[in-house]
Structure 1
Amino acid sequence: MTKTCVLLVDDEELNLEILVEYFDGEEPFSLQAADSGEAAWELLQNPENNFKLILLDRMMPGLDGIGLLRRIKGDPRLAGIPVIMQTAANSPEQIREGLEAGAYYYLTKPYRRDSLLAIVHAALSDANARNALSQQLHQHINSLQFLEKAEFTIRSVEDAGQLASFIAHACPNPEAVVMGISELLINGVEHGNLGLTYAEKSQLKQEDRWHEEVLRRAAMPENASKSVRLSYHRDGDSISLRIADQGCGFDWRNYLQIDPERAFDPNGRGIALARMLSFSNLTYEGCGNIAIATISRRTEDTPGGQS
C-alpha cells in the first residue's frame, strides 16, 4: 500500500510527539516532523519528499506558520498540497488571514484525535478531487475556445467533475476556473437537488460518509429526474455561466465571503474561494438556486493572469 506522506510542523517537541501518537495505527500514513518553519521549508524543497498534506503550527519563532504557508502557496510545485493550520488563537482576523493565505482547514488547540483525523481525511479527499479535475482538463481539445453558446444538463457529482473540466477549456486560464465551476455544479446537485444541508454535510464529512449519502439520495425516486442545467454564453470580453438547480435555494449572501466562524468546519469555503480564485464576479438569482458566474476574457482580469 502506498504511504501518504504527511509533514508535521511545530516548534514544541511535546506537540509533535502528541501528533505522532494521534497518527499511530492510522494507515496508510508516513510522517516527517520539522521543529521550525525553516526546517520545514528545507524538507519541502527536497524533490524526493512527496508530501500529500501539511499540519502546520501558526505561532513559531523565525519563519512562522503564515510565512511558511505563503511560501508554499507561492511555489507552483507545492501550492496544491492541503495545509491544516493549528492555532491556539481564535481571533477572527488571524483566522481570516490564514484562510486567505491558503489554509483550507483550521484546528484550535487542544483538539481531539478523532477531530484531527476527520479533517485530515477530508483534506486529502478534496485534494484528490482537485487532482482528478486537473488531469481531466488535458483530455479536451483547445477548439473549445471558439464556443459561443451552449446548454448542458447533469445529474450527479461525477457528471459535475466531467462537465467542469470540459467547460474550463472554453475559458481563459482553465486551471483557475475549473474548481469554481465544479464547486457550483456540485452544490447544485448535493445542496440543491438532493437537499443536503450545510450541517448534514459537515457531519457526513466528519464521518467520511458524504459520498455514500449523496449516492443514497440520488437513488431516491423523488430525485431520479432532477437535474442541474448549465448555460454557457461568450460575449465580447466576458463569459457568463448560468447554473440552475431544482432545489429550494439558500441564503447565499452568507457564503460569498470567507467566514472565520466556519474555519473549523470541513466544508463551507467553496463558494467564497470560487468567487475569489475562479470568477470575475459571482452572484445568485431567484431563491438562491441560480448561480451566475462571470469570467473575464482579458488576461489582466483573469484569476491567475498577469496584472
Structure 2
Amino acid sequence: MGSSGFTVLAVDDKQTNLEILSVILQSAGHQVVTAAGGAEAWEILQTQGHRFQVVLLDRIMPNMSGLEVLEKIKGDPSLKALPVIMQTSADATHEILEGIQAGAYYYLTKPYEKKILLEIVHAAIRDYNNYQSLQKEVQENARTWGFLQSGIFRFRTMVEARELAPLLANGCPEPGRAVLGLVELLANAVEHGNLGITYEEKSMLDEQGQVDAEIERRLALPENSNKYVEVAFSRREGSVEIIVTDQGAGFDWESYLTLDETRAFDSHGRGIAMAKIMSFDRLEYRGSGNQVVCTILNTPQPITSQELVTAPCDK
C-alpha cells in the first residue's frame, strides 16, 4: 500500500494499551510517539504536529478527554486535516455518533486485533496522503483552470478520474475544498458505477490488497470496454454545478449520504458522506444512483449536526 514508514501519535492513559499499540505499529514499519493523556498529546501536537500522519486517540481519559483533544485538532487550521482514529471500548451508538460528529471518521474498538488495527491505520494514512497530494495538484493548476466556465468531460479509468478532479476543482470557488469530494465521486463512478464493484466486494478486495488489480481486470472486460463517465461542469450565478453520470446500474445510495456509525469501523465506505460534508453545499443523487449533482455556492453554507450522521436502520 505504500503506507509503511510513517509516524503515528498514540494517545492513551493506560500504559499497557500504549505498549500494545507500539508493538503492532512498529511491526508494520511505523514510528510511534506515545502520549499518556490528552494534555500531553495536545502539547506534542502543538509543537510537533507536522511529524504525524495519523493520531490514535483514546476516547475516555481523565483531565482532557479524547473528544476534547479531537475538537482542538479540528479547530486548528494547521492540524485539522490530520486523520484521527478514535479508539474506545464503548460501543454505544450515541458515543460513536458524537465522535463522528466531532471529526473522528475512523473508529477502533478495544481489545485490539492486529489485522483490523493496521487496516484502519493504513486507510487513514492513505486518505491523508491523497489529501496532501491533491492539494498540491490543485495549487499547480490554479491559474489556467480558474477561467473554466462550462465543459463536458469523459473518462474511463481511475487514473483519469484522479487527473480530472484537480482540474475541475480549480473552476470552483474554493479548489482545495472541492477537490476531495470530486476525486471521491469520480472514482466511485468508475469503481462502483461502471465496474459494479459492491461494498461487500470492496471490503474483501481491500482486505486482500487486490482493489487496484480487480479494477484493472474489470476495465479490460469486453462488457466494460466502451463504458465511460461523463462530467458536465457549469458556472452559474452564485454557484458551480457539476453533474457526474456513469453507465452502471446504480446503487442504494441513500444510506451513504450520511456518516453511518455501522460503517465507522470499516476501512472504507465513508467517502460520499465526507464529500457531502466537506466539499459540497448540495449533493443529490438521481434515479437509480448513476447520476449525482454537486453544487458549490460562492458563499458556502455552514454544516449542521443533522447533516453529519444517521441513526442505524431498524431493518
TM-score of Structure 1 vs Structure 2, range by shorter chain: over 0.9
- Alignment partner, residue 182 of structure 1: 183
| Contact 2:281-2:300 at 8 Å conserved across structures | no
| Contact 1:122-1:205 at 8 Å conserved across structures | no
Q: Deviations over 1:271-300 (max 9, x none)?
A: 111111111111111211000111112x35
- Alignment partner, residue 71 of structure 1: 72
- Alignment partner, residue 113 of structure 2: 112
Distance verdict in 2 for CA 1:140–1:49, change over 3 Å: closer
Q: Deviations over 1:223-258 (max 9, x none)?
A: 222111100111111111110001010111111111
| TM-aligned CA deviation for residue 121 of structure 1 | 1.3
Give the TM-score normalised by the residue count of structure 1: 0.93
1:146 and 2:147 correspond: yes
Could you tell me which amino acid in structure 2 is paired with residue 151 of structure 1? I
Query: Which of the numbers 2, 5, 8 marks the counterpart of 2:7?
Result: 5
Taking the aligned partners of 1:102 and 1:211, their CA distance within structure 2 comes to 28
Distance verdict in 2 for CA 1:98–1:278, change over 3 Å: same
| TM-aligned CA deviation for residue 222 of structure 1 | 2.0
1:16 and 2:18 correspond: yes
My pick for the range that moved more, 122-131 or 179-188, is 122-131
| TM-aligned CA deviation for residue 141 of structure 1 | 3.6
| Structure 1: runs of 5+ lacking an equivalent | none
My pick for the range that moved more, 47-56 or 79-88, is 47-56
Q: Deviations over 1:155-214 (max 9, x none)?
A: 111211211100111111111111111111011000001111011112222333222222
| Structure 2: runs of 5+ lacking an equivalent | 304-315
- Alignment partner, residue 282 of structure 2: 281
- Alignment partner, residue 135 of structure 2: 134
- Alignment partner, residue 257 of structure 2: 256
- Alignment partner, residue 39 of structure 2: 38
1:301 and 2:309 correspond: no
- Alignment partner, residue 292 of structure 1: 293
- Alignment partner, residue 51 of structure 1: 52
Q: Deviations over 1:100-121 (max 9, x none)?
A: 2221210111231111011111
Structure-to-structure mapping, 1:66-105, within 5 angstroms? 66-105=67-106
| Contact 1:7-1:51 at 8 Å conserved across structures | yes
The SS at the match of 2:259 is coil
- Alignment partner, residue 219 of structure 1: 220
Distance verdict in 2 for CA 1:281–1:117, change over 3 Å: same
My pick for the range that moved more, 58-67 or 122-131, is 122-131
Percent of residue pairs identical? 45
Taking the aligned partners of 2:88 and 2:284, their CA distance within structure 1 comes to 33
| TM-aligned CA deviation for residue 302 of structure 1 | 7.8
| Contact 2:24-2:114 at 8 Å conserved across structures | yes
